[in-house]
Amino acid sequence: MNDDLKAVGARHLILIGLPGSGKSSLARVAATRMSMPFIDLDKEIERRLAMKIPEIFKLHGEAFFRETEAKTLKEIVTRSVPAVIATGGGAVTQPENLRLIRQNGIIVFLDRHISELPTSGRPLSQRDGIEALSAKRLPLYNKWSDHTVPVCGVEQTAKNISEKVFGGSL
Of the options 1.10.1040.10, 2.130.10.10, 3.40.190.10, 3.40.50.300, the CATH number for the domain spanning 3-165? 3.40.50.300
Sequence spans of domains, the chain: 3-165
Helix (H), strand (E) at residue 50: none
pLDDT score at 1: 40
120 or 55, higher pLDDT: 55
Indicate whether 86 pLDDT > 60.
yes
pLDDT band at 87 (very low <50, low <70, confident <90, very high): very high
pTM (2 d.p.): 0.87
Output the CA torsion 22→27→28→33 (10° steps). 130
pLDDT score at 2: 47
pLDDT score at 163: 84
pLDDT band at 25 (very low <50, low <70, confident <90, very high): very high
pLDDT score at 108: 96
pLDDT in tens, 33-54: 888 899 999 999 999 999 999 8
Compute CA distances 84 → 25, 97, 122, 149, 165, whole Å.
11, 16, 22, 16, 13
Percent of the chain's residues with pLDDT above 90: 52
pLDDT score at 50: 97
pLDDT band at 123 (very low <50, low <70, confident <90, very high): low
SS3 146: coil
DSSP string covering 20-74: TSSHHHHHHHHHHHHT--EEEHHHHHHHHHTS-HHHHHHHHHHHHHHHHHHHHHH
Mean pLDDT across 80-89: 91
Q: How far apart, in whole angstroms, are the C-alpha atoms of residue 138 and residue 169?
A: 27
Mean pLDDT across 130-140: 86
pLDDT score at 141: 93
Mean pLDDT across 68-90: 92
